[in-house]
Amino acid sequence: MQNTEFLFLAKSIYYLSYLTFFILFLSAFLLFKKYTVLSFSLRAVLIFLILFSAVFIWSRFIEPQIITVKKIKLSQNPEIKVAVFSDTHIGAYKSPGFLKRVVDKVNNLKVDLILLPGDFIYFSNDTKSDLAPLKNLKAKSIAVFGNHDIVQSGLRKKEEVKEALKNAGVEILENQETSFKDWKIYALGEIWEDKADLEILKSLNSKKAIILLHNPDITLKYKDLDLDLKNTITIAGHTHCGQIRIPFIYKHVIPTKGDFPHGGLYDLNENGKLVISCGTGEIGLPMRLFNPPQILLLEI
């Protein structure tokens, strides 16, 4: 499917979902209309349509707009405050205006550092304009690529995303290391592009380090490394934490080989700690349920 065809499909889903309001109001009108005698089965159908429409409207129009902040304390004596938000997916479903709201909320947290684990776009037609609100971030910002930043329906987007982030003042790294205060930061490439070069971690020692990556499946390879990772913090995105968290179902749609059913903190034992961002955007369906857009505030 070509980029334009998929974008048309995504936009069709996006706009046709407004029909749910009509279904809700019509069902309520018929159910509560005076002097109307309804059979039990028809009344049951109308009640179901009302409840289904209400849940659909919440997950499509309301919850995806609620930006939350989750605080995680990773040290008894924190040295720095770090904001993390991933999977913004600006384009088909989320607008630059929404990204501006995320940026404003991050700035209000007054953090020292901002880490961005990738997947900035989702069928964006103007990547530079879509990601322009990132230029208003007030703290040092470091990013890695996500799988949706590499290719969209066969079209390469990597250079567009790289240029857009550079124009916004975001440092985009791929298999490179940098520093912030006393912390080493290792930024890995995208595993689905087969660009995650764990060789750069060989310079890592027992000192404090952050590993920034997109897909948490990379942590499954840590066991093959003869490294001391117990003091490291790995930060990832990608999973959306299931996005639409229907009980007993959502775990089966998370696109990872490893078992990462929730966001937040994971203890990898001798391989340090893993923190997964649930993201702020959507793919597939423009919906979130029991899982609103999230900014992580880490005290390290």
Q: How far is CA 249 from the centre of its chain?
A: 19
Q: What are phi and psi of 267, to 5 degrees?
A: -95, 115
Single out the residue in 24, 44, 63 at which a domain terminates.
63
Query: Over pLDDT 90: what percentage of the chain?
Result: 86
Task: Place 36 in a pLDDT band, splitting at 50, 70 and 90.
Answer: confident
Number of domains composing the chain: 2
User: At 10, which amino acid appears?
Assistant: A
For residue 221, pLDDT over 90 is answered with yes
- In tens, the pLDDT along 66-96 reads 999 999 999 999 999 999 999 999 999 999 9
pLDDT tens sequence across 105-135:
999 999 999 999 999 999 998 999 999 999 9
6: pLDDT strictly greater than 80: no
Per-residue pLDDT tens over the stretch 128-147 = 999 999 999 999 999 999 99
Q: How confident is the model at residue 103 (pLDDT cuts 50, 70, 90)?
A: very high
Which range marks the domain in which residue 99 is found? 67-299
DSSP helix/strand/coil, 283: coil
The pLDDT assigned to 206 comes to 62
Integer Cα distance of 135 and 124 in angstroms:
18
Residues 28, 99: one domain? no
Dihedral sign computed on CA atoms, order 140, 167, 218, 179:
negative
Q: Give the residue from 63, 82, 108 where a domain finishes.
A: 63
Q: Are 178 and 199 members of one domain?
A: yes
Query: Do both 200 and 73 map to the same domain?
Result: yes
